[in-house]
Structure 1
Amino acid sequence: MSDALIVWTNDLDDDGVEVAGSKIARLGSLRKIGVTVPEGFALTTGAYRMFVSEAGLHHAIEKFLGDVDDPDDFDQVEAASEAIRRAFHSAPVPPVISTAVEEAYEELSDQCRDLNVPVAVRSSATGEDGVESSFAGQFETVLGVSGVEDVLDAVKVCWASLFGGRALSYRLHHDIDHTSSPMAVGIIELIHARSSGVAFSIHPVSGKRDRMVIEANWGWGEAVVQGLVTPDHIEVGKTDRRTLLYQEHTKEVVSQFDYSKGRVVEVQMPTRLRDRRVLDDDELAAIVDAVLEIESHYNYPVDVEWVIARHWRAGEPVVVVQARPETVHAPAAPKSSAGFDIATIARRTVLRGPDDG
């Protein structure tokens, strides 16, 4: 597996972090314990190394980082970041990689019974989202990508995000080798979401273990990530599964897939739905089931990114697209865990409280 360019999530578990990165390796692990996850594959860290080597990007990285005299100088760091990312975007993908991606994407499309299946292209770094790490949310995810050429473009966006300003600054301040965490990329079936969000199996502020906190929004989480809406905030007792708090928020924007444009877009929510609760009791129960199963398996508090599919029916499982240790109150959790972007945003909502936004 170490020399492979493509690895399917079915063949991964937590031991695959060095090949597929933490996010995508965890998907394989979740599937093996019976959790419903999307279909997909990883473009491995070996592919990243090949791309960087054949494009001569090591020289560009060294050159532009050499211009940073002071890691506290925001302008210097951002200038280096932009220059490195431009070099990534302009470099050609080696034919052996593009062919491997094309063949795997066609196979995924066949599995999903779609000519050019829309996918989420997700960065998955090997050093990302350990409990003591500060990289959560710093790497790119591109939603609603359709067609192999657009997938390859999105892959380069994810590779380049390893040198985003925040990640670059963090490594400079902590004297971390910029080549120590190569970037794998997940190409994952996009679940057409009725609603989505994040669930914490422990209260992320108080640390109370008798309840879980759920954040929910219509469609995908992009409107939340962009700060366009505040998700509903729900607290559920873990023993009796009783809803302790349901705080609705007005949601004027929803993220959905536009087939004519081939990407996820933000549109105005119909007035009649803006103040409606995102989750009913059956949907809450399905989320609680998934989170408790994951927490029980790993034996530490977790936060979980979930999606309820557009045609979901009561009694069906939710789709889990990421899970990782809850980082505030779980200091003993393994460092090989997977992570996700929306959790960072959702945690900010929880931290400021349901009545503040």
Structure 2
Amino acid sequence: MKYVKSIENMTKEEIAQTGGKAAMLGELTRAGFNVPPGFCVTGASLDYVLESGNLWPEIMAIMDSMNFDSYQDIEKKAVGIRETVANASIPQDLRDEITENIRAMKDASGEDPFVAVRSSVAVKDSTISSFPGMMDTYHFIKGEEEIISYIRKCWASLFTDRALYRRHQQNIPQDKGIIAPIVQRMVNADVAGVMFTANAVNGDREEIVIESNWGLGESLVSGEALADFFIVSRTEPPQIKQKKVARKNIMVTVDREKGIGRKKYELSEELSEKCSLSDEQLMELAEHGRKIEALFGEPQDIEWAYEKDELFFLQSRKIKGLK
């Protein structure tokens, strides 16, 4: 296929087309780690859409006119760019590739599964392969047309005011940004979080730091929710050195009223004060964290989730700013 690649077929060598998140998921999958199945609509697809509609000149003209000393001007003009991208016509051959892969996921699962549509980014002719928190992710999406509409929204998120300003700050030409939407089977997480295979606070590479909360990890990554906090040693077997159970306030999960999309819910008193991970789960996470670090050859910042006691890995990238 020309514009779509299955996750298991993606490699680090293809970061320029799949973005860092998708490339690392491909490496994890082939190494035997449990990654939700899915596919990536490569960075070339958005270029194809915009070139087919002759939209790049219009978009570049808007970006060239932006006053980057005025955030209000960036916000106002970014809206127009996103509307142009979201309403652009998708060439039929690209639409057919996307639809074929959605149907393959459905056939493999035997049902019409919920999916997550996630953003994977890179910069053309550069080693930059992530802009944490800059692009959009969507959860609990179902149906071919809905999935395609959220792929459009992912494309459009390349042109949020935050993303435009960040590229400007880093002297990255605005037409060099790449976004490659990932469509994956949705993990309906009971508990999720992040794991750092070295302690980024004190620089101790013999400590694994784990944070967790009920539901999707989005509440934790975004900083909206308090999280349980653990430090596990890298000894064999691992030892729990520190355990702090937070009074957790919210969780993010499927919208129970609509049956689709996500929603924040306040936690019950019982769940609020209950530790979100068992000791056995902490040991399992630490063991996998060590193996993932060994795979990539440097300490990792890992996103993970448990669904019915099954551990899934959702992202891995190197820890930034480690001493």
- Sequence identity of aligned pairs in percent? 26
Instruction: Provide the rounded CA distance (Å) in 2 between the counterparts of 1:327 and 1:131.
Output: 14
2:29 to 31, 38, 48: 31
Matching residue of 1:265: 263
> Is the Cα contact below 8 Å between 2:60 and 2:175 reproduced in 1?
no
Q: 1:11 aligns with which of 1, 9, 17?
A: 9
Match of 2:108 in 1: 111
Secondary structure, in 3 states, of the residue corresponding to 2:34?
Answer: coil
Q: Deviations over 1:260-293 (max 9, x none)?
A: 4311222232221111000001111111111110
Contact 1:22/1:127 (8 A) holds in 2 = no
Deviation of 1:227 after TM superposition, in Å, equals: 4.2
Does 1:251 find its partner at 2:256?
no
Distance change >3 Å, CA 258–CA 53, structure 1 → 2: same
- C-alpha deviation, 1:214, in angstroms: 0.6
- TM-score by length of structure 2 reads 0.93
User: Which residue of the other structure, out of 59, 75, 78, is the alignment partner of 1:78?
Assistant: 75
Are 1:189 and 2:185 matched, yes or no? yes
Shift of 1:42: 0.6
Match of 1:101 in 2: 98
Q: Determine the C-alpha separation between the residues in 2 that align with 1:276 and 1:104.
A: 40
Q: Which amino acid aligns with 2:104?
A: E
Who is 2:290 aligned against? Answer: 292
Residue 168 of structure 1 pairs with residue 161 of structure 2? no
Pick from 28, 41, 56 the counterpart of residue 39 of structure 2: 41
Contact kept in structure 2, 1:41 and 1:186, CA below 8 Å: yes
User: Which digits, 9 at most, give the CA deviation of each residue in 1:164-217, with x for residues without a partner?
Assistant: 112211222333122223211110111121111000011111111110111101
Amino acid corresponding to residue 60 of structure 1 in structure 2:
E
SS, match of residue 5 in structure 2: strand
- Paired letter, 1:220: L
Does the 8 Å CA contact 1:118/1:144 hold for their aligned counterparts? yes
Whether 1:146 and 2:139 are equivalent positions in the alignment is no
- 1:214 and 1:227 mapped to 2: Cα distance? 15
Give unpaired runs (5+ residues) of structure 1.
331-357
1:28-73 deviation line (CA, Å, top 9, x unaligned):
111121111110001112211111112332122222113223x222
Contact kept in structure 1, 2:217 and 2:305, CA below 8 Å = no
Whether the 8 Å contact between 1:24 and 1:186 is mirrored in structure 2 is yes
> Which residue is 1:325 aligned to?
318
Tell me the distance in 2 between the aligned counterparts of 1:262 and 1:299: 39
Distance 1:66 1:19 in 2: 25
Moved more, 277-286 or 49-58: 49-58
* 1:78 alignment partner AA: E
SS in 2 for 1:193: coil
Matched letter for residue 266 of structure 1: K
C-alpha distance in 2 between matches for 1:212 and 1:226: 21
2:133 counterpart of 1:137: yes
Quote the offset at 1:162 in angstroms.
1.1
Task: Check whether the contact 1:229–1:250 (CA below 8 A) recurs between aligned residues.
Answer: no
Letter in 2 for 1:328: G
For 1:294-313, list aligned pairs within 5 A: 294-309=292-307, 311-312=308-309
When the two structures are superposed, what TM-score results if normalisation uses the length of structure 1? Answer: 0.84
In structure 2, the residue matched to 1:92 is 89
Where in structure 2 are there 5+ consecutive unaligned residues? none
Give the aligned residue type for 1:326: I
Note if contact 1:131-1:325 (Cα within 8 Å) is conserved in structure 2.
no
RMSD in angstroms over aligned alpha carbons? 2.0
SS in 2 for 1:261: coil
> Does structure 2 retain, via aligned residues, the 8 Å contact 1:60–1:87?
no
CA distance in 2, matches of 1:10, 1:282: 28
